């Protein structure tokens, strides 16, 4: 019984870690997009100023 519970807990933990990992990856990609769009907006402002 003990080993079964341990195995189940381990699998549950692994799934949680996988979900967390996916969430972190999504968060990082969103941050990268935001950062690059900020950079893009700065470039646009510079272009408008120089026009």
pTM of the model: 0.59
Element (H, E) at 50: helix 2-50
**HEC assignment per residue over 5-42:** HHHHHHHHHHHHHHHHHHHHHHHHHHHHHHHHHHHHHH
Question: In this structure, what token pair is assigned to residue 44?
Answer: 């646009």
Give the range of the structural domain holding residue 21, as residue numbers without chain letter.
1-51
How many domains does the chain divide into? 1
Q: Give the separation between CA 1 and CA 12, rounded to whole angstroms.
A: 17
Q: With a cut of 90, say whether residue 35 has pLDDT above it.
A: yes
The number of beta carbons lying within 10 Å of the beta carbon of residue 7 is: 10
pLDDT of the residue at 4:
87
- Give residue 12's pLDDT band: very low, low, confident or very high (50, 70, 90): very high
15-31 tens-digit pLDDT: 999 999 999 999 999 99
């Amino acid at each position: 019984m003990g080993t079964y519970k341990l195995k189940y807990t381990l699998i549950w933990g692994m799934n949680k870690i996988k979900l967390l990992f996916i969430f972190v990856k999504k968060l990082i990609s969103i941050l990268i997009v935001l950062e690059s769009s900020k950079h893009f907006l700065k470039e646009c402002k510079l272009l408008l100023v120089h026009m």
